Structure 1
Amino acid sequence: MTEPLPTHPLTAATVTAEAFAPFGVVLTPMADGTPFTAEEAVLDVSGGIPRFYLMSLDDKKPEFVRVTRHLETTQTLMAVGDVEWTIAVAPASIDEPTLDDLRAFRIPARTAITMLKGTWHAGPFFAEPSMDFVNLELDDTNVTDHHNFRLDDTYGVRVVVE
């Protein structure tokens, strides 16, 4: 039996547009008829067939040993329902994230995020037994554009979001 990995704590902050800017944009409700915004302009699903679907996840405790990125598309996520959730991210500009590169954000209900192409991420995480999320990416993102980096292999830790 192997010993459990030591943990690396990562404190989650409530997301703001400014804090999330290196990783993407924060989208909040706006009145119908609001003109197109710069935040919406980061969306890029031009590299293939867009896939807009409801993603169902179970038991996503806020801990991870791996981060993932998609180089060919942005990814937009939003929880279905009036529930907060959490995501961990690292900048797209780096090939191998360090523990210091990681940031965690609490995403309030009725808020979506669009991650820039190449943004490293882990999650979404949540306290509920299961949750559904609106997900916009490409039809083959999880097959042909799913690049992983193992934090446990490289740094010998399990990251725990607090």
Structure 2
Amino acid sequence: MNTSQTVQQLQAQWVTPENFRRYGQVIFASQDGKAFDAEDAQLNLENGTPRFYIMRLQKRGRKFHQITRHVQCTQCLGSLEGKDWLIAVCPPENHVNEPALGEIAAFRIPGNCFIKLNAGTWHAGPYFEHEVVDFYNLELADTNEVDHFTHDFLKSHQLEFEMVD
């Protein structure tokens, strides 16, 4: 059995609404009073009690070997204090229990927006090199208990990823 580990680099691109569309939405500030439209987060939180909270994460670096998805809800993530961060994503394939290796993409998210992940989108992150970053997170109250599916690339492919600029 081959136990050697490979590190695959993923080129992180700055997120835009266009290049992130396969995975979800990018939401930027809009004028107060603007009518709800397609540029607003299209949320699916109907399968439980919504939970909006701030999570504090310590320096996470740029490497990962696990990727997770939630199939029962959308998820919104954004950093506080204007700090940029990284995330890797893979489009949802709800009939497949494993992300497609060739479909994984990495994005740099600026601190002036947030992302909404479509239900079922595989994601690894947030990652960053700051000492500490607080993130707001909108999902369901029990997402991490009943709707948390993780794939481990070290176990399946002896593979780790590193997001690079």
TM-score tier by shorter-chain length is over 0.9
1:77 and 2:82 matched: no
Match of 1:129 in 2: 131
Taking structure 2 as the reference length, the TM-score comes to 0.93
**Aligned residue pairs: how many?**
160
1:64-94 CA deviation, whole Å, 9 max, x = no partner? 1110000111000000111111100000125
1:97 and 2:99 matched: yes
The residue type equivalent to 1:53 in the other structure is: Y
Matches within 5 A, 1:27-106: 27-40=27-40, 42-93=42-93, 95=96, 96-106=98-108
* TM-align CA RMSD: 1.3
Shift of 1:40: 2.6
Match of 2:149 among 126, 147, 161: 147
The residue type equivalent to 1:21 in the other structure is: R
Greater Cα shift, 85-94 or 35-44: 35-44
Match of 2:25 in 1: 25
Shift of 1:98: 2.8
Taking structure 1 as the reference length, the TM-score comes to 0.94
1:107 and 2:109 matched: yes
Shift of 1:41: 5.2
Structure 1: gaps (5+ residues): none
Structure 2: gaps (5+ residues): none
